[in-house]
Chains A and B, each alone.
Chain A
Amino acid sequence: MFVARSIAADHKDLIHDVSFDFHGRRMATCSSDQSVKVWDKSESGDWHCTASWKTHSGSVWRVTWAHPEFGQVLASCSFDRTAAVWEEIVGESNDKLRGQSHWVKRTTLVDSRTSVTDVKFAPKHMGLMLATCSADGVVRIYEAPDVMNLSQWSLQHEISCKLSCSCISWNPSSSRAHSPMIAVGSDDSSPNVSAKVQIYEYNENTRKYAKAESLMTVTDPVHDISFAPNLGRSFHILAVATKDVRIFTLKPVRKELTSSGGPTKFEIHIVAQFDNHNSQVWRVSWNITGTVLASSGDDGCVRLWKANYMDNWKCTGILKGNGSPVNGSSSQQAISNASLGSNNPNLQNSLNGSSASRKHS
């Protein structure tokens, strides 16, 4: 079902992040070689590099797209302690003729004193906001008050997490019932500090972000964290990449029951935990409906996870990084490409919004 299309990225060092834009037609990659590349999908489905430029004077850890309503805007963050916002310039130039687009730096955010490890735009309904986190444990939230002026960003909040931060994720829910929320993961490797995932929530009354929850069960370094697209759910799903893949659900406890004004309390359940990567897990990413989770680990494989009608999460596919078949012997759940094919209908079925088997429920 999956066809691997290999792309000659031509980055001079490791690629640390890839990111699709809102419509899935563009892709950005960033690398330790201090550059960011933008790839556009042609009609035939090929990816063409339409821009490549030096963005920072250190490794670029992350790159992320803003909602297209704000223009073609990227944000990047780097080891050089800065985050930057970039905008594509549309205009007549020689670049255009060569099929290259031009990106200009709109701002540099220099507040961090250490490596900026993640950068994420807030969900669109919050306006043009940007969160960064840094190795010294500070999450910063910036806002561009005028969406037409990308060079003006004001630092709205500084949240001190006390732990070296490695990743952040905004809760994408657009519901008015859910206040803005941000989850922070830490890759602090000291074993005596527990709770490597913290969740901060915006409090309307104090106009500040306050810690709502800590996931006490996550004690190993966290490398990636991701809220699933909410899509009308009343609860939130959070995937954590640590030494294994973990999926949590956060059900808001009804406001009336908690003391008013305080942070929302959540019923937190761990719904899945997989060590199939058999090694450090580096990345987690949700599909668009928040029903399938992809994870990648030190084993060089991408694994897909999906819940069945009983809410049991299962591995539904394994993809090898270079497109070669996965050797079945490496783990009991590993499925070679051939059997992956036979697995497809399953995945396909279940991806169809609701699995056929659920009919009986």
Chain B
Amino acid sequence: MEKMARVTTALGGNTLTGRTMYCHLDAPANAISVCRDAAQVVVAGRNIFKIYAIEEEQFVEKLNLRVGRKPSLNFSCADVVWHQMDENLLATAATNGVVVTWNLGKPSRNKQDQLFTEHKRTVNKVCFHPTEAYMLLSGSQDGYMKCFDLRKKDSVSTFSGQSESVRDVQFSIRDYFTFAATFENGNVQLWDIRRPDRYERMFTAHNGPVFCCDWHPEDRGWLATGGRDKMVKVWDMNTNRAKEIYCVQSIASVARVKWRPECKHHLATCSMMVDHNIYVWDVRRPYIPSAMFEEHRDVTTGIVWRHLHDPYFLLSGSKDSTLYQHIFKDASQPIERANPEGLCYGLFGDLAFAAKESLVTADSNRKPYPGDRRHPIFFKRKLDPTEQFESVSSSALSVFETEPDSSSMGWFVDTARQYALAGRSLAELCDHNAKVAKELSRNQVAQTWTMLRIIYCSPGTMPSANLNHSIGKGSASLPLMNSFNLKDMASGMGSEARLDWSKGENRSENILLDSSTTLITNDENEETEGSDVPADYLLGDVEGDEDELYLMDHENAHTEEPEYVLPQEAFPLRHEIVDNPSGPDHLQDKADSPHVSGNEAETVSLTPVESFSLISISHTLYESRLPPDFFSALVRDMLRFYAEQGDVQMAVSVLIVLGERIRKEIDEQTQEHWYTSYIDLLQRFRLWNISNQVIKLSTCRAITCLNQASTTLHVNCSNCKRPMSNKGWICDRCRQCASTCAVCHHVVKGLFVWCQGCSHGGHLQHILKWLESSTHCPAGCGHLCEYT
């Protein structure tokens, strides 16, 4: 009585005190139970049965109940319960099926009081009646529940669940005669202790075993159940049918559930395997635990609130042989760690933003940031159980869209579409691109293009010939030389001349070399490439011509339509068979390297290019034919600048347009990096054609091979419908020309369109024309072809 008084005062003084603490047990615990004075706890397990006093700073072992020379199985406990009215009375469920009661008031060392050996298998649970001193209930693996009167030798009544093992039994706190039992088959039964013949009510609560249940300490109708299906369900038993009112989804099977004192909607759970943590849930927010205790290193087997009316102290025992006192202040709160916002930048500058509603609706005069969110002060406030818990949280999702016309990436798409990268003379390309940039009011970029044009195309000799990308090579600004001479000289002084192209560091030499030398270098280079693939070179030339004419017409007419997209694709595509375009150059590089040292002597007296600024280059310098290479350092730096600014588009476009003029100035790896970045961007915007064009025009081997990798076309013969193994036009099985046009009966070289239904087809134009007038296959097979 004296002890009780003390505790009451303690609670009247508003708290239990203590800290998060633990003690090592000798063996894994199976269950724990607390004395009603909240000052002692009993720990029971297969090899342990001890009482600890809970002191301010530590647990102190008070009593070992496992006594005797050879401990009997009666000491091996599956469950333990301390009577909530009689401080001296304990009951255990032994693993051998015996229910044992213990009287701490006994003077002898062995406190064992009574032994009930009625169950045939393990007893899973024992439970004292909350108000009746002598009434004890047990539930066993054998499927029976028994009610004992401790004044009698045998059970007073036996209840048969008529189903599988009983996992838990709990007296209702409010209804004197009622108890709940949970079963391995997922059922929950309600019994009246006066009627052992049949249950009052039964319902299926879970999918799989129901491991535990707990009556709400205040709300008489509420029963919480936990099962292997990882769910905790709260049932309202007041109605005729048990109604599920809350369902909490945990991450592992639920082994124990305990309502939190003084907090109507809170309950604590622990799990049977995998998960060693103890969670405290607000059932109204069923997805995320409001608190979490992570101390245990093995499965938590028993949890109990230290005092009936104190929500801050939780005791737990575990298979890791520790006994813990958890203090709420030290709990981790997943909600606090949880990110309340999501934010993502879209492609066109649109922003998706999801935020906790309370954050976005909060008035703007909210208090300033008070320091770390997990500051202890916050905890105290947050965890005040009387405070209405933020039960339902939801987020507001919105997308901030840029207005279509002001789309912040529109410039990129427009630029990519409208830039001309090849197919015309350098000057025209520059002019065109400058115009494009200007129209998109990107003045700096426009300026850059104009400068490039001035640098690389001398104003006097405006290009009139077909100097497209692949053959321009800077010769525009220089007098043409006889090709015979070129060839002769190529062998003679090739090595020396090529030096100019070899390395970025050597760029400044060019100002010493006279222009004719440079010229030779250029043209020689070009010639070498040309002679490697003469046929293709020729074809390319012709095609370039066509392009040229076509484009020139546009230019001259000053057509209203400012963008002509991908001029090359206006013509039937002809795959350029270039096995390894950068191969020869690469070899040249290598061949050059030995010569570099030899030429070093000539280059020592160089004036550093850096001393010239772009502005200081006056017009007269052009007149004196300053070789364009003079500027390459500047241009290189300019490209780098654009790349560093995130405008890789400019870097790559200039790289392509200038081609050989600048390529050697920038190391292959950087170029490759720019190309891959730009291609990735283009693909993001689904500018497939442009990305393909860029790949095609690139001079990096790693890039050009992107187009050649993993593209396989499987072709079947349209006659015999079997796969064509060889590459020719004739099917080797039926000896027929495979890809003849169904309309004109000529072999189709170029774009071949065919029906996937009947495999007939032909020239795109022919088929289109045909399908305008007829819906049937032109081959007469009767198939209804469709061109979409």
**Do A and B truly interact?**
yes
List the interface of chain A (C-beta within 8 A of B).
Answer: 1-9, 11-20, 22-24, 27, 29, 31-34, 45, 47, 57-59, 61, 79-81, 115, 124-125, 166, 173-177, 187, 189, 220-221, 223-224, 229-235, 243, 275, 278-280, 282-292, 294-300, 302, 319-323, 326-327, 329-330, 344, 347-348, 351-356, 358-359
Q: Is the CB of B354 within 8 A of A9?
A: yes
Contacts of B676 in A (CB 8 A): 125, 174-175
Q: Is the CB of B369 within 8 A of A278?
A: yes
Q: Is the CB of B343 within 8 A of A29?
A: no
A15, A17, A220 — which one has the most chain B CB atoms within 10 A of its CB? A15
- Interface hits, B349-375 → A, CB 8 Å: 349-356, 359-362, 364-366, 368-369, 372-374
State whether A4 and B249 are in contact (beta carbons under 8 Å apart), knowing that A16-B339, A173-B673 are contacts in the complex.
Answer: no
Closest chain B CB from A189 CB (angstroms) = 5
Contacts of B398 in A (CB 8 A): 4-7, 321-323
State whether A353 and B646 are in contact (beta carbons under 8 Å apart), knowing that A173-B673, A189-B372 are contacts in the complex.
Answer: yes
State whether A287 and B408 are in contact (beta carbons under 8 Å apart), knowing that A4-B398, A174-B673, A294-B345 are contacts in the complex.
Answer: yes
Q: Is the CB of A302 within 8 A of B445?
A: no
Closest chain A CB from B441 CB (angstroms) = 7
State whether A18 and B402 are in contact (beta carbons under 8 Å apart), knowing that A177-B673, A187-B337 are contacts in the complex.
Answer: no
Cβ contact of B681, chosen from A19, A279, A288, A299, cutoff 8 A: A288
Which size bracket describes the interface of B in this complex?
35 or more
B347, B356, B645 — which one has the most chain A CB atoms within 10 A of its CB? B645
Cβ contact of A176, chosen from B364, B374, B672, cutoff 8 A: B672
Contacts of A275 in B (CB 8 A): 369
Give Cα A61–Cα B441 distance, bound, in whole angstroms: 42
State whether A326 and B287 are in contact (beta carbons under 8 Å apart), knowing that A3-B400, A321-B353, A356-B443 are contacts in the complex.
Answer: no
In this assembly, does B781 line the interface, its C-beta being within 8 Å of a C-beta of chain A?
no
User: Could you write out 9 A-B pairs with CB less than 8 Å apart?
Assistant: A4-B400, A14-B288, A16-B340, A18-B353, A45-B401, A285-B343, A297-B341, A299-B366, A347-B408
Closest chain A CB from B572 CB (angstroms) = 29
State whether A115 and B673 are in contact (beta carbons under 8 Å apart), knowing that A6-B396, A322-B360 are contacts in the complex.
Answer: no
Closest chain A CB from B370 CB (angstroms) = 9
Question: Which chain B residue shows the least CB distance to A175?
Answer: B673
Question: Which chain A residue shows the least CB distance to B353?
Answer: A302
- Interface hits, B675-704 → A, CB 8 Å: 676-678, 680-681, 683-686
State whether A59 and B338 are in contact (beta carbons under 8 Å apart), knowing that A24-B348, A177-B669 are contacts in the complex.
Answer: yes
Give Cα A283–Cα B341 distance, bound, in whole angstroms: 7
Q: Is the CB of A175 within 8 A of B347?
A: no
Contacts of A20 in B (CB 8 A): 344-347, 352
Contacts of B397 in A (CB 8 A): 6-9, 11, 15, 18, 29
Q: Is the CB of B288 within 8 A of A59?
A: yes
Secondary structure class of chain A's binding surface, majority of residues: loop
Cβ contact of B230, chosen from A57, A59, A243, A356, cutoff 8 A: A57
State whether A3 and B339 are in contact (beta carbons under 8 Å apart), knowing that A27-B352, A59-B334 are contacts in the complex.
Answer: no
Give Cα A283–Cα B395 distance, bound, in whole angstroms: 15
Closest chain A CB from B278 CB (angstroms) = 15
B373, B396, B669 — which one has the most chain A CB atoms within 10 A of its CB? B396
State whether A232 and B651 are in contact (beta carbons under 8 Å apart), knowing that A29-B397, A59-B288 are contacts in the complex.
Answer: yes
B341, B640, B651, B678 — which one has the most chain A CB atoms within 10 A of its CB? B341
Q: A124-B680, A351-B349 are in contact. List 6 more A-B contacts (CB 8 A).
A: A27-B344, A115-B334, A175-B670, A230-B677, A231-B643, A288-B347
Q: Is the CB of B347 within 8 A of A23?
A: yes
What sequence of 0s and 1s flags, for each residue 434-453 of chain B, a beta carbon within 8 Å of any chain A beta carbon? 00000011111101000000
Q: Is the CB of B250 within 8 A of A296?
A: no
Give Cα A2–Cα B699 distance, bound, in whole angstroms: 40
In this assembly, does B532 line the interface, its C-beta being within 8 Å of a C-beta of chain A?
no
Give Cα A248–Cα B491 distance, bound, in whole angstroms: 53
Cβ contact of A16, chosen from B342, B374, B400, B684, cutoff 8 A: B342
Contacts of B591 in A (CB 8 A): none
Closest 9 CB pairs of A and B: A24-B347, A321-B360, A175-B673, A327-B364, A15-B395, A283-B343, A15-B354, A300-B359, A9-B397
In this assembly, does B537 line the interface, its C-beta being within 8 Å of a C-beta of chain A?
no
What sequence of 0s and 1s flags, for each residue 632-643 of chain B, a beta carbon within 8 Å of any chain A beta carbon? 000000001011
Q: Is the CB of A15 within 8 A of B342?
A: yes
In this assembly, does B8 line the interface, its C-beta being within 8 Å of a C-beta of chain A?
no
Contacts of A320 in B (CB 8 A): 360
Give Cα A344–Cα B402 distance, bound, in whole angstroms: 11
Q: Is the CB of B681 within 8 A of A231?
A: yes
Closest chain A CB from B288 CB (angstroms) = 5
Q: Is the CB of A352 within 8 A of B411?
A: yes
Give Cα A322–Cα B69 distance, bound, in whole angstroms: 74
List the interface of chain B (C-beta within 8 A of A).
Answer: 230, 249-251, 285, 287-288, 334, 337-356, 359-362, 364-366, 368-369, 372-374, 392-403, 406, 408-409, 411-412, 440-445, 447, 640, 642-652, 669-670, 672-674, 676-678, 680-681, 683-686
Q: Is the CB of A288 within 8 A of B406?
A: no
Question: Which chain B residue shows the least CB distance to A358?
Answer: B444
Q: Is the CB of A354 within 8 A of B647?
A: yes
State whether A232 and B648 are in contact (beta carbons under 8 Å apart), knowing that A189-B372, A300-B359 are contacts in the complex.
Answer: yes
Give Cα A344–Cα B677 distance, bound, in whole angstroms: 28
B394, B408, B647, B681 — which one has the most chain A CB atoms within 10 A of its CB? B408
Give Cα A291–Cα B646 distance, bound, in whole angstroms: 7
Contacts of B396 in A (CB 8 A): 6, 9, 321-322
Contacts of B341 in A (CB 8 A): 282-283, 296-297
Closest chain B CB from A311 CB (angstroms) = 10
Contacts of B362 in A (CB 8 A): 300
Contacts of A224 in B (CB 8 A): 339
Q: Is the CB of B645 within 8 A of A354?
A: yes
State whether A174 and B359 are in contact (beta carbons under 8 Å apart), knowing that A3-B400, A344-B406 are contacts in the complex.
Answer: no
Contacts of A279 in B (CB 8 A): 368-369
State whether A300 and B360 are in contact (beta carbons under 8 Å apart), knowing that A13-B287, A321-B353 are contacts in the complex.
Answer: yes
Q: Is the CB of A223 within 8 A of B339?
A: yes
Closest chain A CB from B438 CB (angstroms) = 12
Contacts of A358 in B (CB 8 A): 444, 645
Q: Is the CB of B353 within 8 A of A233?
A: no
Question: Which chain B residue shows the least CB distance to A3?
Answer: B401
Question: Which chain B residue shows the least CB distance to A68?
Answer: B683
Question: Which chain A residue shows the least CB distance to B354?
Answer: A15
Give Cα A33–Cα B249 distance, bound, in whole angstroms: 10
Question: Which chain B residue shows the least CB distance to A319?
Answer: B400
State whether A326 and B364 are in contact (beta carbons under 8 Å apart), knowing that A3-B401, A352-B441, A352-B442 are contacts in the complex.
Answer: yes
Contacts of B411 in A (CB 8 A): 351-353
Closest chain A CB from B606 CB (angstroms) = 24
Question: Which chain A residue shows the least CB distance to B409?
Answer: A288
Give Cα A287–Cα B360 distance, bound, in whole angstroms: 23
Give Cα A351–Cα B409 distance, bound, in whole angstroms: 8
State whether A174 and B343 are in contact (beta carbons under 8 Å apart), knowing that A34-B287, A289-B646 are contacts in the complex.
Answer: no
Give Cα A355–Cα B443 distance, bound, in whole angstroms: 9
Contacts of A12 in B (CB 8 A): 287, 394
Contacts of B366 in A (CB 8 A): 299
Contacts of A34 in B (CB 8 A): 249, 287
Q: Is the CB of A290 within 8 A of B646?
A: yes
Q: Is the CB of B339 within 8 A of A2?
A: no
Q: Is the CB of B342 within 8 A of A283?
A: yes
Q: Is the CB of A288 within 8 A of B684?
A: yes
Q: Is the CB of A22 within 8 A of B684?
A: yes
Closest chain A CB from B540 CB (angstroms) = 29
Closest chain B CB from A316 CB (angstroms) = 11
Give Cα A82–Cα B358 distance, bound, in whole angstroms: 29
Closest chain A CB from B751 CB (angstroms) = 26
Question: Which chain B residue shows the least CB distance to A6?
Answer: B398
Closest chain A CB from B444 CB (angstroms) = 4
Closest chain B CB from A284 CB (angstroms) = 7
Closest chain A CB from B690 CB (angstroms) = 15
Contacts of A359 in B (CB 8 A): 443-444, 447
